[in-house]
Amino acid sequence: MKRLAYISAASPDLELADMEAILDSAIRRNGERDVTGVLLFNGLNFLQILEGDASTVADIYSRIIADKRHSGVVTILDEPADKRIFPNWSMQLAIVPASVGTLPAGMQLSKNFLEGLPPAVPDHIRLFLTGFNSMSRLEFA
């Protein structure tokens, strides 16, 4: 198994409906393929963690990289994993506060996401997730 995390820049015209479509296909496809993880969105950037069979995660990641609803995908973690951190989440979305700009219309902040993280989240992953909240705008070429 492997665990992979990336950060990307959301398409500037991303709407609530795009987010719903992303989440629908993520939950369906990850569920079929036994991939789990989290997807954070702060109005500007995504941070996603994917975990599962190494070749399955690589295949899903290559689709994600090509997705036009975001750009500038930068891998921030790629590590072997002997067990899952998020066994119960085929893809858990968390909308976190935007430090710059606003959330797309109709998007609601997720309540208590950080407080509700599974206790088994290791420190290096917890740092990504808590630090993302305070990240200011990142733009990638």
Ligand X SMILES: Cc1cc2nc3c(=O)[nH]c(=O)nc-3n(C[C@H](O)[C@H](O)[C@H](O)COP(=O)(O)O)c2cc1C
Contact positions vs ligand X (CB under 6 A): 22, 25-26, 29-30, 39, 46, 48, 50, 60, 63-64, 67, 69-70, 91
**Strand order through the sheet with 2-10:** 70-80, 2-10, 45-52, 36-41, 92-95
Give the three-state DSSP class for 109: coil
What is the dihedral sign for C-alpha 79, 85, 91, 96?
negative
Pairing of strands 70-80, 36-41: unpaired
Any alpha helices (H) in 11-122, and if so which ranges? Answer: 16-33, 54-65
Query: Least separation, in Å, of the C-beta of 120 and ligand X?
Result: 20
Look at residue 23 and give its three-state secondary structure. Answer: helix
Nearest to 7 by CA among 35, 34, 47: 47
